[in-house]
Amino acid sequence: MSISEIAQDEDLPTTFLAKTFQKLARHGILEAHRGAGRGYALARPAVEISVRAVLEAIEGAELFRRCVFAGSRCSDDHPCLLHDHLKPAVAALRAAIEELTLAAFADGTAVPPAPTALARPEPWH
């Protein structure tokens, strides 16, 4: 499919999608095809492409190294108040999406069970 077809089908701005696809191509996730049959295709089998690779290609390699609360001001040397509490969760998320592949989305197996904390929220007191 062409970018304009995908943009129209998904109701996304064509320029946004084009820039995203360019990033994915630069990182070896997509291949750009020129000429009459122009468009994009996966550069390798979907089972070999992790969701982590896709997210880092789009958002940058620092995606899972920067703090969601304090940004670049938070580090192991200068932690924010939540740093030590969130560090294991971020590591677990990074590992989980490294194992999750595009193939899992295509075959419908990418829907993980809800975490226990989210499945049964504690009542407010």
Domain-wise residue ranges, the chain: 1-43, 46-108
**Given a cut of 60, is residue 117 above it in pLDDT?**
no
CATH number of 1-43: 1.10.10.10
Residue 69 tokens, joined:
């609360």
pLDDT tens digits, one per residue of 62-116? 887 777 776 667 778 888 888 888 888 888 888 888 888 999 888 877 765 555 5
pLDDT tens digits, one per residue of 20-74? 999 999 999 999 888 776 788 999 999 999 999 999 999 988 887 777 776 667 7
pLDDT at 88: 86
Residue with tokens 């062409």: 2
For residues 63 and 40, what is the distance between their CA atoms, to the nearest angstrom?
25
pTM of the model: 0.74
pLDDT at 26: 95
